[in-house]
Amino acid sequence: MNNFFRTGAKASVILFSSISLLSCGTDATDPGLEYAPDMYNPVAYEPLKQLDGNYNAFNPGGGNLRVPAANTIARGKLDFYNRLSKDSAEVAGKELKNPLAATPKNLVEGKVLYSRFCAPCHGETGAGDGLVGAKFKGVPNYTQGRYATLPVGHIYHVIVNGRGRMMPHGTQVNPQERWKIAMYVQQLQKGITEVEGAATESTDVASQSADAPAGASTTDNTNPVTGATADSAKNTRN
């Protein structure tokens, strides 16, 4: 009987050692076997999670997220809509007007946003001498040539869609922030880097007011991108 137990114990040790050696392996990145994977891999579909081989038979394309219906605008996203193509910066310069007044508050916010997103290439004064601009030549100088006279709509359009080697920034800044940046860039075009005592209205807003009927508001209800009023935007969504 003792021999039987000794033999069984030796066999158990050998079996356990073999399993241990096989389970270790040589790949340090191998996570090993999963135990009860349903505890952290949900059976239900999650919109932002797509497991390997987890094909969703209910949605076109097999993904958990559905593509928006064609030619539609998500609720609350009308301000992000721009009917102009990405290659229409010149047209945008003629048609898009800044709905925000050039108040010191807006200009200060525009300067902060410019410093974060634009200054690395265009420089603090808009001379194209930022750290990136010094490395990759060709960054325009806002104070020289045709760049000194670019209209605010053109600047806004390039912020959204990019141009040349400049990548689009439409996903980094929302429409209001884009207009504030464009507003501050117009200050840099004139060589003005300080915002204290800035005019209460930009040139574009002033021109809009001159063309508008007496008593009409040009800033309160105007859509920043399309130029549509709040009432027409509401009708568009409906």
pLDDT at position 139: 87
CA gap 187, 142 in Å, rounded: 10
Residue 222 has pLDDT above 80, yes or no: no
Give the max Cα distance, the chain: 112
- Which backbone phi and psi does 146 adopt, to 5 degrees? -70, -20
Domain boundaries, the chain: 30-67, 83-211+220-237
Q: What count of other Cβ atoms lies within 10 Å of the Cβ of residue 84?
A: 18
Give the up-direction half-sphere exposure of residue 73: CA atoms within 13 A in the CB hemisphere: 15
Residue 74 has pLDDT above 70, yes or no: yes
CA gap 11, 38 in Å, rounded: 35
CA gap 114, 178 in Å, rounded: 9
Residue 232 has pLDDT above 50, yes or no: no
pLDDT tens profile 10-19: 666 666 665 6
CATH number of the domain at 83-211+220-237, please? 1.10.760.10
Residue 200 has pLDDT above 60, yes or no: no
Residue 216 has pLDDT above 50, yes or no: no
Q: Which of 201, 196, 161 is nearest to 178 (CA)?
A: 161
- Which backbone phi and psi does 230 adopt, to 5 degrees? -65, -35
Task: Indicate the pLDDT class of residue 5, thresholds 50, 70 and 90.
Answer: low
pLDDT at position 3: 65
CA gap 158, 168 in Å, rounded: 7
The answer to whether 166 and 121 are in contact (CB under 8 A) is yes
pLDDT at position 188: 92
pLDDT tens profile 170-192: 889 998 999 999 999 999 998 88
Task: Indicate the pLDDT class of residue 204, thresholds 50, 70 and 90.
Answer: very low
The answer to whether 156 and 145 are in contact (CB under 8 A) is no
What angle do the packed helices 175-189 and 152-161 form, to 10 degrees? 130
DSSP notation for 134-160: HHSS-PPPTTSGGGGG--HHHHHHHHH
| Terminal-to-terminal C-alpha distance of the chain | 88
All residues at 6 or more sequence positions from 123 whose CB lies less than 8 Å from its CB, including other chains: 129, 130, 133, 139
pTM: 0.54
